[in-house]
Amino acid sequence: MPITPHIVIIVASTRTTRFADHPLNWVVAETLKHSEFTFEVLDLREHTLATFDSPIPPAIKPREYGSKVQRTVGEKLDGADGFLVIANEYNHGYNAAVKNLLDSFFVEWNRKPISFVGYGNVGGARAIEQLRLVADELDMASVRPTVNVLGPQIMAIRGGADPLETLAVLEPRLEALLADLHWWATALKIARAADKEATDASDDAA
């Protein structure tokens, strides 16, 4: 039976006036062509996590959710086989809300792929590279191809150009990203299931 990985699309920017909705809407429209996945959107503006305040790191005490919103988000992340971050760039880094999200969970991220559609003067590239470092520590595989919406494309859309038409030129990049994301999400889903089977078998034997 083919594996259909479930991908959570994370919208990092929480600004009221954010640009993020343009790349988000484009990505969501493109996902309709990809029945080899299922997708859901996790919008950090709709799920306001409190600033991380757990006395014990989530790596030590997994799934100890301190609030309803943390549980809702944690369960969404737990159900994912991979992630696609719509990544903004502030002051050559990623934004605080996405770091708070990453720090607030641990096992929910482990051994899953993470991929990036960035935007900014240089396509969010600096934020994405920093997010890759954090993803390493969360035991994730960061997907090599990225989509980078550049300054001139942002300016064009802000100036009134049709967002979907403007971003269409990036479709081959998104296709490359999704192809790799599918490979990693499938491979790691199989590997996680094998790990779980081995753990369950050793628990039964104990």
Ligand X SMILES: Cc1cc2nc3c(=O)[nH]c(=O)nc-3n(C[C@H](O)[C@H](O)[C@H](O)COP(=O)(O)O)c2cc1C
- CB-nearer residue toward ligand X: 106 or 119: 119
Of residues 118-157, those binding ligand X (CB under 6 A): 120-122
Kindly state whether residue 188 participates in binding ligand X, applying the rule CB under 6 A: no
Token reading at 81: 């086989």
Q: Which residue type occupies 26? A: W
DSSP states of 98-119: HHHHHHT-STTTTT-EEEEEEE
Q: Is 8 in the site for ligand X (CB under 6 A)?
A: no
Binding segment (CB under 6 A) for ligand X, from list 49-57, 83-91, 186-194, 198-206: 83-91
- 46 binding ligand X? (CB under 6 A): no
CA nearest to 31, candidates 109, 98, 101, 115: 115
Q: Which of 19, 37, 105, 184 binds ligand X (CB under 6 A)?
A: 19
Residue in 5, 3, 22, 38 with CA at minimum distance from that of residue 147: 22
Near ligand X by CB under 6 A: residue from 91, 133, 159, 204: 91
Q: Is 15 in the site for ligand X (CB under 6 A)?
A: yes
Is residue 27 near ligand X by the rule CB under 6 A? no
Q: Is 63 left (phi over 0), alpha (psi -120 to 50) or beta?
A: left
Q: At a CB cut-off of 8 Å and minimum separation 6, what does 79 contact?
A: 6, 8
Stretch that binds ligand X, among 13-21, 39-47, 167-175, 192-200 (CB under 6 A): 13-21
Is 13 among the residues that bind ligand X (CB under 6 A)? yes
